Amino acid sequence: MKELVCQVLVVGGGTGGVAAGLALGARGIDVIITEPTEWIGGQLTSQAVPPDENQWVESFGVTALYQRFRALVRDWYRTNRPLTQAAASQDHLNPGNGWVSRLCAEPSVMHAVLESMLRGLARPPRVLRGYLPVSALSSGDRLGAVTLERTRVGVPAGAGAPDRVSIVADYILDATELGDLYELAGVEHAIGADARSEYGEMHARSDHADPLDQQAFSWCFAVEHRPGEDHRIDKPARYDFWKAYVPKMDPPWCGPLFSWTVPTHNIEGARTFPFIPWPDRCPEGMWDMWRYRRIVDASIYEQDPQHPAIPDVCLVNWVQMDYWLKPLLGVDVATATQALAEAREQSLCLFYWMQHDAPRFDGGAGYPGLRLRGKELGTSDGFAMAPYIREPRRLKARTMLTEAHIGTEQRAAEGKPGREAHPFGTAELFTDSIGIGHYTLDLHPSTAGRNSVYVPAAPFRIPLGSLIPVRVRNLIAAGKGIGVTHITNGCTRMHHTEWNIGESAGHLAAYCIEHGTEPAHVHESPRHLAEYQRQLGEHGVRLAWPWEQ
């Protein structure tokens, strides 16, 4: 087993992990990032999820570093792709013109940009790809060595790459997709739904905690459409099950899962979205499923007759492929492994349905010309490298961010001020803020039969206390697994918020190293906290919303 030493170990190279690495590397800290897949970036890349975002993302709603990343993605397209003059001149170019985001872009491009950003640092991190944590030693209230093993799944090992690596660091950041270090090192954490009585949340489901009540996860894939061609795949083994499957949910589902009609939170309770694949165009102002998360819009390119045409590419991440039959956390390895396999097969069955049985907008059934498209995802089969995990293990932190802090309806019901400042209300004005975020409290269907939750949230501050464990002294949360509840995870799991969490966690570790202190001391000391926040501001991390200052 190879042994390595560094100042900061970032376990998990997802959206938060890479942001932490960028912050640390810019300050000259010796960093190792470990990542189980071939790509860094997580939601942005290996999980193939176009960014969900707040409405101020192009102005003041995210960190300056995240805005720089977005600008570099757009610059990459202007430099490397034959854009039309009209597209190239757009300040806020949206390469896919998907309507879910103002930056629907190819995961492969986002990955290339992140790699370039890391290479340009004062001290680029060492990145170990294809390694998953399997154990973590602890001594009292400190974490010691973390041991990782090669996954051997789709990741080139490289010459002489060891099967096992043990890494010792002064500070360890958990940026894993499932909060792996919490369980491995015995760090206090929670999984599943919290009891209503624990935090007094309006939308908590019951007075009893249910660890196995977890949000669905999804295995995304990408498709192109070649009309007149036949790319139909063989029938998956469980297709008949999924085609006939009607979810048993509370509130009730609106019919078969495989349908263009999905549950919504309007008065009707359901909405039918048409699916109109390229080259047909949907009417102006219509929201259709092809353009929902489209990551390549062929119309923005100057097509060269001497080269293959650039196709439209639709990224599929819809509720029809949300998997909730088995939980991932709190179960044995065999059950979790089966859940992952079934989720991937469910997505394949959805694709088969789209090819063979889905109602066509012109009255027919099925689109035989749909073809899985892996180029943009860095895979050969058109599926993302990894599943999109919404809800990880959640840290028991010094500050737990609850619905009472950010939920618009609950804060109004409790008479909290703020509506006069903003229509969504004002969230808790945490004085230990290390960033900001905003998104609806959006919980996908759960493994316990709870249908979606989708209720308004106020633009919020991220408290430093939510990144720091109640006990362990040298661990910092740097991803989705901060001190949030089952409910508030629904808005803190988004790309821009996870990036802010990771970036600020990186700066916290650097501050502790430079000042010979620890995260809990920074949180407790007004002097340290003020200096740390001042440094965050210097690095372009916004600590409050404009209307709060």
**Both structure tokens of 314:** 């639709």
Mean pLDDT, range 150-177, rounded to an integer: 83
pLDDT of residue 265: 78
Looking at residue 52, its pLDDT comes to: 87
pLDDT for res 264: 85
CA atoms within 13 A on the CB side of 515: 18
- State the Cα–Cα distance between residues 134 and 528, nearest whole angstrom: 34
Give the pLDDT confidence score for residue 419 in this predicted structure.
67
Mean of pLDDT over the chain:
95
> Taking residues 458-464, what's their average pLDDT?
97
Contacts of 223 by beta carbon, 8 Å cutoff, 6+ apart? 313, 314, 316, 351, 354, 370, 371, 372, 373, 382
Residue 155 has pLDDT above 90, yes or no: no
Mean pLDDT on 433-452:
96
The residues with which 272 forms a beta bridge, in sequence order, are: 261
β 142-150/131-139 pair status:
antiparallel
What is the distance between the alpha carbons of residues 479 and 503, in angstroms, rounded to a whole number?
A: 9
Amino acid at 218: S
pLDDT of 121 above 90: yes
Question: In the prediction, which pLDDT does 283 show?
Answer: 86
Give 325-337 pLDDT, tens digit per residue: 999 999 999 999 9
- Residues 481 and 176: their CA atoms lie apart, in Å, by 8
Q: Annotate 284-297 with b (16+ C-beta within 10 A) or e (fewer).
A: eeeebbbbbbbbbb
Query: Structure tokens of 358?
Result: 């889905």
Among 38-42, 152-156, 284-288, 424-428, the range scoring the smallest mean pLDDT is: 152-156
pLDDT bucket at 160, cuts 50 / 70 / 90: low
With H, G, I as helix, E, B as strand and everything else as coil, classify residue 93. Answer: coil
**Residue range 477-535, pLDDT digits in tens:** 999 999 999 999 999 999 999 999 999 999 999 999 999 999 999 999 999 999 999 99
Q: Please tell me the distance from the alpha carbon of residue 462 to that of residue 544, in angstroms, as a whole number.
A: 9
**pLDDT higher than 90, residue 206:** no
Q: Output phi, psi for 213, to 5 deg.
A: -90, 90
Rounded CA separation 457/425 (Å): 8
Q: Please, which pLDDT band fits residue 159 given cuts at 50, 70 and 90?
A: low
